[in-house]
Amino acid sequence: MQETGLGLFLIAPIREFPQGRGFEVESPGFLKEKSDASHMFDIRASRGDGPRNITVIDLATTTDGVVSEQPVIAIFAKVFDVNPHRAYLIAVPKICESGKKLAALYKIKLIEAKDQKGVLKALKALIS
């Protein structure tokens, strides 16, 4: 399966997960904040009004076995500008070591999973 196809295959169940927990979900989701630029996330989930209630999720997939650190850098740039309550990067199947270090440094919650089932299991542990 191509990387884009894999991403689309995963987005639907990931989008449905927060919906089932009372979040309003947009996919793709857009936020506009500090720089007046509009930023797109794979999923934007919110409860109520204001940035303290917004969760953003981006998905990075590869067929090469390891996702590079580039998706971490990309989501950080967007998160820095919009300042959501929570930011998640889902890497399928896993992310490189430098990507893990950057995610920790940037306070981006990282989910690594080999498949849809693994992603949903990790989300259940993180999102209430």
- Domain assignment of residue 26, yes or no: yes
The reported pLDDT for the residue numbered 98 is: 97
User: Measured between alpha carbons, how far is 99 from 10 in angstroms, rounded to an integer?
Assistant: 21
Exposure of 5 by Cβ count < 10 A (0-12 exposed, 13-18 middle, 19+ buried)? exposed
What pLDDT tens digit does each residue of the chain (128 aa) get? 344 444 556 788 888 888 888 899 999 999 987 778 899 999 999 987 755 689 999 999 988 899 999 999 999 999 998 999 999 999 999 999 999 999 999 999 999 999 889 998 998 888 76
The reported pLDDT for the residue numbered 128 is: 60
- Confirm if 51 and 84 have CB atoms less than 8 A apart: yes
- Domain assignment of residue 46, yes or no: yes
Strands 86-92 and 109-112, sheet pairing: parallel
The reported pLDDT for the residue numbered 2 is: 40
Give this prediction's pTM: 0.87
- Confirm if 41 and 29 have CB atoms less than 8 A apart: yes
The reported pLDDT for the residue numbered 32 is: 83
- Domain assignment of residue 128, yes or no: no
CATH of the domain at 14: 3.40.1350.10
Total domains present in the chain: 1
Domain that holds residue 14: 3-123
